[in-house]
Amino acid sequence: MKKVRCAIYTRKSSDEGLGQAFNSLHAQRDACEAYIRSQRHEGWKLMPQHYDDGGISGGTMDRPALQALIAEIEAGRIDMVVVYKIDRLTRSLADFARLVERFDATGASFVSVTQQFNTASSMGRLTLNVLLSFAQFEREVTAERIRDKIAASKKKGMWMGGVLPLGYDKADGGLVINRAEAETVRTLFEKYAVLGSVRKLKDFADRADLRTKQHVFASGRVAGGKLFTTGHLYQLLSNTLYRGKIKHRDQVYQGLHDAIISEAHWSRVQEKLANNRVARTTRKNAASPSPLAGKVFGGDGRSFYAHHARKGQRRYRYYVSADDQVRLPARELEQAAYNALMHRADVRQQTADGDPAQHDMLQQIDRLVVGSAELEILLAGEEDAHPMRVPFTQRRRGVERKLVLQNADVSRKVDQALIRRVVKAMDWLDAIKAGRAISDIAAEQNVSPSYITHNLDLAFLSPRILEAVSEGRQAPHISAYQLSKISIPVNWDEQDPIFLS
């Protein structure tokens, strides 16, 4: 009789109860051991190694015990994988298909002890694929319901969470005015109406030592409380919350919260902002200013200044290092930064009706660092985010350096904060489907209910996107910080242009 070497795999999404003497992992293993004993007449034998993943979602393949199990299978030391239920192994049809391919390559099979089929037979595989297809359908329907609820709530004027804006505090799930911060907001609106320039407004804010809102997260991390950048100020002056409204995509609804800025004052500021955008574009076309002036730095921290030279009727612009040892062609540097920005899905959505002026786009950059082999780009208002990175090589000609982009894509390192947020979203969805209330989950994990509903979309990402995120191959704008600004479609095909471009 041929011996069938069996390994048991167990998994639990949350870490709740793992410290108990007998927990869910133990219960799963007991059931699997009993099943293996019932198959002794077929030559089944349990291997002594334990493969247990506690507190890890089934929506990701990045699980230590699962990876160790796969390594043993591919080494030819396991013939049969035994699990309590299918979803203990994976919740993704695509991931399961890849697992089965790897099992097949080594002659290994898989059995679920409570669902009475195994992948050693073609009927078992068919049944399993049908079940996983329905599981995926259920996740998509749940996502649609959650989205519909958020949209309906915003139509009623309810604030649905996210980072608190300056001027407001949270109370009973809504926004209440913070009087001290509201005075700062009113002052900035009033000064802009007088000064008519965001740069002049920033100078005023610096002199007055006005600061952004400070946030203390559940983890104890503190963010904000910094001097305003021009990016901060543009966002503040354009935030419809201050006029007592709630924005959902391209629609604006009357909010349940009180306004800080009157409608008349808001309209004056928006008109001035619009006129200034036109004026900036006109000046740019007339005089070709350097939009990255004061924002370019070398890898050693030294700044570059904008410079131009004329040869006949032609005007050449450069960014030159403070010691005059490096001179970068302005057009090439600006084009590289512009291309990086245009890889962002949120920028594409904002400019869907036409190409934005490059000069205006580059105003979003707070700092651009020219390293030895890559450009590092940080946007205003995103100090806590990972910078965008654009690899390049340099060709020297005297003090001038020509930038040669290696590719047009923006590279990133694996974003562990992003991965943790996706895993949490999957755990929350599992808990909700098990019948737990969002308010109970929020209280247990010391977060707000709105924070959970805001992040649940991440539980419905396609397997291809999850794989890309785990390898750091997501689009450059995708970070834990930026997720609060992105609308995630349910359809996997519609997700790809946002997350993988």
CA distance 388 to 379: 9
- In the chain, residues under CATH classification 3.90.1750.20 are 168-283
Q: Looking at domain 168-283, which CATH architecture does it have? A: Alpha-Beta Complex (3.90)
CATH topology of domain 4-139: Rossmann fold (3.40.50)
| Cα 413 to Cα 388: distance, rounded to the nearest angstrom | 10
Of all helices (H) and strands (E), which one includes residue 404?
strand 400-405
Measure the N-to-C terminal CA separation of the chain; round to a whole number of Å.
53
CA gap 357, 285 in Å, rounded: 10
Residue extent(s) of CATH 3.40.50.1390 domains in the chain: 4-139
Q: Helix/strand/coil (H, E, C) string of 341-396?
A: HHCCHHHHHHCCCCCCCHHHHHCCEEEEEECCCEEEEEECCCCCCCCEEEEEEEEE
At residue 254's C-alpha, the angle toward residues 151 and 146, to 5°, is 10
Q: Give the single-character DSSP code of 474.
A: S
Task: For residue 434, give the 3-state DSSP assignment.
Answer: coil
How far is the C-alpha of 496 from the C-alpha of 424, rounded, in Å? 21
b (16+ CB within 10 A) / e for 360-398 = ebbbbbbbbbbeeebbbbbbbbbbebbbbbbebeeeeee
Give SS3 for 149. helix
For residues 86 and 126, give the distance between their C-alpha atoms in angstroms, rounded to a whole number: 13
Written as tens digits, the pLDDT of the chain (501 aa) is 789 999 999 998 877 777 777 788 888 999 999 999 999 988 999 999 999 998 888 778 889 999 999 999 999 999 999 999 878 888 776 677 778 778 878 889 888 888 766 666 677 667 766 766 766 676 677 778 877 888 888 889 888 877 789 999 988 878 999 999 999 999 999 999 999 888 899 999 999 999 999 887 767 778 888 899 888 898 899 899 999 999 887 788 999 999 999 999 999 998 888 887 755 555 544 445 788 888 999 888 888 888 888 777 677 888 888 776 778 888 888 888 887 777 654 444 444 434 455 677 788 888 898 887 788 888 876 665 667 887 776 666 555 565 655 544 444 456 777 888 888 888 888 888 777 888 788 888 878 877 887 788 888 888 778 877 877 777 766 777 666 666 777 777 777 777 775
Determine the Cα–Cα distance for residues 363 and 376; give it in Å rounded to an integer.
Answer: 16
The CB-side HSE value for 29 (13 A sphere, CA atoms) comes to 20
Distance CA 366, CA 234 (A): 12
Task: State if pTM tops 0.75.
Answer: no
Instruction: Say if CB 343 and CB 501 are below 8 A apart.
Output: yes
